[in-house]
Amino acid sequence: MANGNGRAVPPRAAKEPEENIFIFYPNLIGYARVVLAVASLYYMPLHPRTCSILYSISCLLDALDGFAARKFEQSTKFGAVLDMVTDRCTTACLLVFLASAFPRWSIVFQGLISLDLASHYMHMYATLSMGGSGQSHKKVDESRSWILKMYYSDNKVLFTFCALNELFFIALYLLSFSSPILSPSLLQPAPSTLLPGSPAAPKPSMLFTSPWSAGAMEMARANKMDSTVPWVLAIISFPVMAGKQFINVVQLVKASKWLAEGDREERRKAGLPRRQKMM
């Protein structure tokens, strides 16, 4: 093709289509995780079996989205943040329920929520501010922490710790519905609300007008669930859960020290602290 002066003009390069990050396969899996998590929260107060199944599927999909990201070369910062936010929010919501189910231990569950959120936020912020915007929070230098290096670099180790951590809390959730040892109220007979002329076996809706009332909650918990399997799962997963909390503490401490290193370097470049002039 030539212009008016007879000079050849190179053809314009065709504009490449813009990728829609939001419909990448791993992100679609992430949205499915969110939907399943919300559905599990809906069933959490009264339907332990349904809730546990939905919650468990949401957790297991956490491994599938990483596999999809690697297989289809669709690893993105949005997907990484979506994955982390989903993990933190779903675990926090389950721990909130456990705090209400076991009020005597609520401060422990509140502490676990705070540790989980603080540890991952500090680690993510330190990685972005000190390692650069292109640095992944899963790429940890062994010189900073060999524990975090081993935890994040091996997908099998990461999946095992995360899965068994969630399994322990799910087991506790099931025990709140089935174990009189942890929930003594299950041994207490509910007061009768039958009136003369009422049916011998009234529907729950006749006893408790609100399905979210305390009485309806107790009735749902006294549904003859067997506590054997939840106890076994809780005992097996407890050591790994404890190890996960230790890793959270290490992550929080290391991230804090890394940020402090950056602060000292910035203050040194700014000439701080300024020496006071001699009087």
Residue 7 has pLDDT above 70, yes or no: no
Let me know if residue 7 belongs to a domain: no
Let me know if residue 63 belongs to a domain: yes
**Region of residue 107 (left: phi > 0; alpha: psi -120 to 50; beta: else):** alpha
Let me know if residue 193 belongs to a domain: no
Please say if 87 is a catalytic residue: yes
pLDDT tens digits for 40-57? Answer: 999 998 889 999 999 999
Let me know if residue 224 belongs to a domain: yes
Range of the domain at 30: 21-182+215-267
Query: Which residue among 62, 65, 83, 87 is the active-site one?
Result: 87
pLDDT tens digits for 162-193? Answer: 999 999 999 999 999 888 888 776 665 545 45
Domain count, the chain: 1
pLDDT tens digits for 250-267? Answer: 999 999 999 999 899 899
Let me know if residue 164 belongs to a domain: yes
Q: How does residue 96 score in pLDDT terms, banded at 50, 70 and 90?
A: very high
Let me know if residue 1 belongs to a domain: no
* 8: helix, strand or coil: strand
Q: How does residue 231 score in pLDDT terms, banded at 50, 70 and 90?
A: very high
* 76: helix, strand or coil: coil
Residue 23 has pLDDT above 60, yes or no: yes
**Where are the strands (E) in 2-42, listed by range?**
none
Query: 243 vs 91, 158, 164, 198, 239, CA distance in Å?
Result: 16, 12, 10, 54, 6
* 188: helix, strand or coil: coil
Q: Whole-model pTM? A: 0.79
Average pLDDT rounded to a whole number, residues 156-165: 93
CATH of the domain at 252: 1.20.120
Let me know if residue 12 belongs to a domain: no
Which span out of 183-187, 204-208, 239-243 was modeled with the highest average pLDDT?
A: 239-243
